[in-house]
Structure 1
Amino acid sequence: MSGEIDPTRSSLVAAVGSAGEEVQLAITMADVLGGEIDFNNDLRIGDSFRVLFERFLREDEYDDYGNVLAAEFNNDGRRIRATRFTPPGGDPGYYDDAGRSLKRMFLRSPLRFEPRVTSRFSRNRMHPILGERRAHLGVDYGAATGTPVISVANGTVVSAGWSGGSGRMIRLRHTGGYETYYLHLSAFARAIRPGARVAQGQLIGRVGSTGLATGPHLDYRLKKNGVFLNPLVEHRKMPPGEPVPAEHLGLFQAERERIFGLLIEVPQIPAVLKVAAGAP
């Protein structure tokens, strides 16, 4: 399947939907490419993409999606390609053309789609309610009440509860001295409690306007070794995950050429591998 970001389809969800596919495919694509592209803020008019994916059928009707096998996204002048590959004896992952993992320690955003940055990190911002200048130690994303909020990295819940002007707030601890904070939530996801472990991309709560808030939004904060940092800057510095092992690089390159060959062969129709539901 191919698509383009334009004035009438300014989000990945809209572009995928206009091609006749479901929102779940857009969510899966965002999971694959979320370490490289912030789909909330990085998309530009004229961006384009191609994707090869599995579709499960039941009695010749759509039932569900399987894996994204290959994806190419042209974003603001750069091309990002992802190949799904399973090293012998390892777990499946997504890699760029050089065999570098596309998985980052942190996702670019705790919201998958469409919200906008309404207030940036600042040491001296006029507070919209209190009417005084004070530090804003996070990034505000405007989004509708109930929008899913996901963990940007694997971690452990430090706290999940009411926190004064921050309203319902979740605090997560990650490796490397990092902590993340998610403020003004309307609700917590099931099983989010102190001590619980969470996975990258896992639903942890939903956007709200609890505490001191003028409307529904997510205030997302990032701390390292006790100091709050600008998430939009710090996320760009995150190193990639483990590359394809050197001894398997030849296998990866062969799989990359094979899978992108399938994508190139079907440019005018949805690039889909159809699998009957229940098939092995």
Structure 2
Amino acid sequence: RIIDYPVVKKLVLIEGRIEDSLISAINKTGEQDLLALMLADIFGWDIDFYLDLRKDDTFRLLVEKKYINGRFSSYEQILAAYFINQRHLYEAFRFTYPDSSQTDYFDSKGNSLRREFLKSPLKYTRVSSRFSLRRLHPIRKIYRPHYGVDFAAPVGTPVQATADGLVTFAGWNGGAGRMVKIKHSHSYETMYLHLSRLGPGIYRGARVRSGQVIGYVGSSGESTGPHLDYRLLYHGQYVNPLGWKFQPAEPLGEKYRPEFNQQVENLRQLLLYPLPLFADY
């Protein structure tokens, strides 16, 4: 027989302090890894959660949690969040457009948190080699330019497209090994080298979305170990992905500002002065 268990959503305030990683800090609050990934997705255009984090960075967020028959079932949405990284306050407020039901995150002034490109093609990793015009090649043992940024990560780590675009190459490319190249708007291109395999549905001519998995870290081609060589081109010229300044997405339209401003005020009160820590609604 079918049993209908009671389903309850709770709005929960969670706050923490960085000691080593975001996942570890979230775990110390009693929450699961997924919540750290959700928070990283929101601020991922401004904060690289491996390179940019510092000890004693802090965060505070309001998240919907679903309970079935009194037991935690899933995270729903993060409605608002503060993140202080290197003494700079980043803020996020979720807004749903009333005429389309699409959602996005904005700061309190209505500026979109989205940028043209994500800061990193991997969610959690470390940089093992930076963009350089003169680097000793680890295999050929000669000095030559290194036009990308190497991210060390285990084989099989998902690689995400850093922006919407069109796949112009997907396959084997000599010393680059298994590679994906994507053409983006505003004369940008990105390249993802040394993959172990391609992501589902990735082929020449496929359209991809920002954050979509386009492959998995490997060590194919001329490589001394598992890593991703990530490259960015602007008007056909290689540029440093870590230092390049991307333009933000369009801000919130004026006609939505009154409703948005009211929501921001309400969420700010909950973030700063949480009366009950847990609220059923």
TM-score (structure 1 length as normaliser): 0.91
Task: Give the one of 2, 16, 36 matched to 1:3.
Answer: 16
Q: Which residue of 1 aligns with 2:243?
A: 233
User: 1:56 — aligned with what?
Assistant: 66
Alignment of 1:1-280 (within 5 A): 1-6=14-19, 10-90=20-100, 91-113=102-124, 115-234=125-244, 237-266=245-274
Secondary structure in structure 2 of the residue aligned to 1:231: coil
Cα separation, 2, equivalents of 1:102 and 1:216: 32
**Structure possessing the higher radius of gyration over alpha carbons:** 2
Q: 1:274 to 1:156 in 2, by over 3 A?
A: farther
Alpha-carbon displacement from aligned partner over 1:77-131 (angstroms, at most 9, x marks no partner):
1000000012332421100111100011100110112x11111101111011110
Gaps of 5+ in 1: 276-280
- The structure, 1 or 2, with the larger RCO (C-alpha pairs under 8 Å, 6+ apart) is 1
Q: Which amino acid in 1 is paired with 2:265?
A: E
Separation in 2 of the partners of 1:268 and 1:40?
Answer: 33
How far did residue 242 of structure 1 move? 1.3
Code of the residue aligned with 2:182 in structure 1: it is L
**Percentage of pairs with the same residue:** 45
Q: Deviations over 1:188-220 (max 9, x none)?
A: 111111111111111111111111111111100
Which amino acid counterpart does residue 104 of structure 2 have in structure 1? Answer: G
C-alpha distance in 1, partners of 2:115/2:65?
27
> 1:30 offset after TM fit, Å?
1.1
Secondary structure in structure 2 of the residue aligned to 1:53: strand
Distance 1:161 1:97 in 2: 43
> What secondary structure is seen at the aligned counterpart in 1 of 2:40?
helix
Separation in 1, partners of 2:199, 2:229 = 17
Corresponding residue SS for 1:28: helix
CA distance in 2 between counterparts of 1:180 and 1:213 reads 19
TM-score by length of 2: 0.91
SS at match of 2:186: helix
Distance in 2 (alpha carbons) for counterparts of 1:267 and 1:145: 46
Q: How many residues align?
A: 267
SS at match of 2:61: strand
Partner letter of residue 84 of structure 2?
N
Q: Deviations over 1:22-42 (max 9, x none)?
A: 111111111111111111210
Whether the aligned pair in 2 keeps the contact of 1:157 and 1:198 (CA below 8 Å) is: yes
